[in-house]
Amino acid sequence: MRSLLFTPGDSDRKLAKGLTSDADVILIDLEDAVTAENKVSAREKTADFLRQDAARNAPMPLYVRINDLETEWAEDDLASVVPAKPAGIMLPKARSHDDVARLAGMLDALEQKAGVKPGFLSILVIAPEIPEAVLNMATFQNCDPRVAGITWGSEDLATGLAAAGSRDQDGTYRSPIELARSLCLTAGSAAGIHAIDTVYADFRDLEGLKRDAERAAADGFSGKLAIHPDQVAVINAAFTPGEEEIAKARRIVEAFDAQPGAGAINLDGAMVDMPHLQNAKKLLARAGLT
């Protein structure tokens, strides 16, 4: 999951365009991208779209971001889209793991009712996106088997904190927002799931996106959210290991394979140990080479 592209659920044109992108995942949005008066029509349009041959044969998984579980729309969102068999559901504004467990239970019942294979739909969690979730991030390490990844929301969180914005004038995150970012990464790593960085809001600033995405990849995130198709290529490049990185990772793995039982080895005059081996394996997995 390098690039995850949001596509408004109320636009036929944008839904179709999303399938032509190189995004690893399409996130059909019924929440922030859809106004209250269009919520019902958007969920119906999304369900119809998911049933079309083009969507069923899409080259990437299609997820649906439903509305917050505390809203009047969430249950109907699920009832409408689950029978159409998206790859999964994105849960916004999760407060703690209790919200994830609640969604998983709802999916159990809806899959059974719709004749969908139990556990078919996976879950992507957005947390922290609200202040309450920042206090509960440790709970997300105990993930339901359905949970494939966790991401976070900087702009909603900044609003919830009454901050002047998510970033300082120099473009760096304000300290409470940076804390939330770190907690998301840590929770995802602890749970053994994808930790996905949030959106870069200025979709015209591809150089800024490049810096942001490369920093996220270096920090350990496995991917990043996108709000415009033009962002996808930049994100994919940032999260795709380069040839030199791959070659080095292969040499580390091969060196340990050649010395079974060794806890540390000398490679090119430097000592490498188990953390280096684990990182090498993760990099090769990210490159699709394992």
Q: What's the pLDDT tens digit per position in 123-157?
A: 999 999 999 999 999 999 988 899 999 999 999 99
Task: State the average pLDDT over residues 250-272.
Answer: 88
The yes-or-no verdict on residue 98 having pLDDT over 70 is yes
DSSP state of 73: S
Nearest to 136 by CA among 212, 72, 187: 187
- Indicate the burial class of 89 (C-beta count within 10 angstroms; 0-12, 13-18, 19 or more): buried
Indicate the SS3 state at residue 64: strand
Q: Which fold has domain 3-238?
A: TIM Barrel (3.20.20)
Residues with Cβ within 8 Å of residue 235, at least 6 apart in sequence: 2, 3, 209, 213, 223, 224, 226
Place 167 in a pLDDT band, splitting at 50, 70 and 90.
Answer: very high
Nearest to 117 by CA among 151, 146, 75, 148: 146
Catalogue the E-assigned strands of the chain.
3-8, 25-29, 62-65, 88-91, 122-126, 147-151, 194-197, 223-226, 264-267, 270-273
pLDDT tens, position by position, 266-278: 888 888 888 888 8
Q: Are 134 and 181 in contact (CB under 8 A)?
A: no
Residue type present at position 97: H
The yes-or-no verdict on residue 282 having pLDDT over 90 is no
> What is the structure's pLDDT at 241?
85
**Whole-angstrom distance, CA of residue 114 vs CA of residue 119:** 12
Q: Are 286 and 239 in contact (CB under 8 A)?
A: yes
Q: Are 4 and 22 in contact (CB under 8 A)?
A: no
The yes-or-no verdict on residue 205 having pLDDT over 70 is yes
Q: Phi and psi dihedrals of 152, rounded to 5? A: -145, 170
> What is the structure's pLDDT at 290?
66
> What is the structure's pLDDT at 54?
92
Domain boundaries, given as residue ranges, for the chain? 3-238, 243-286
**Whole-angstrom distance, CA of residue 177 vs CA of residue 166:** 6
**Whole-angstrom distance, CA of residue 273 vs CA of residue 271:** 7
The yes-or-no verdict on residue 91 having pLDDT over 70 is yes
Task: State the average pLDDT over residues 108-124.
Answer: 96
Task: State the average pLDDT over residues 54-73.
Answer: 96
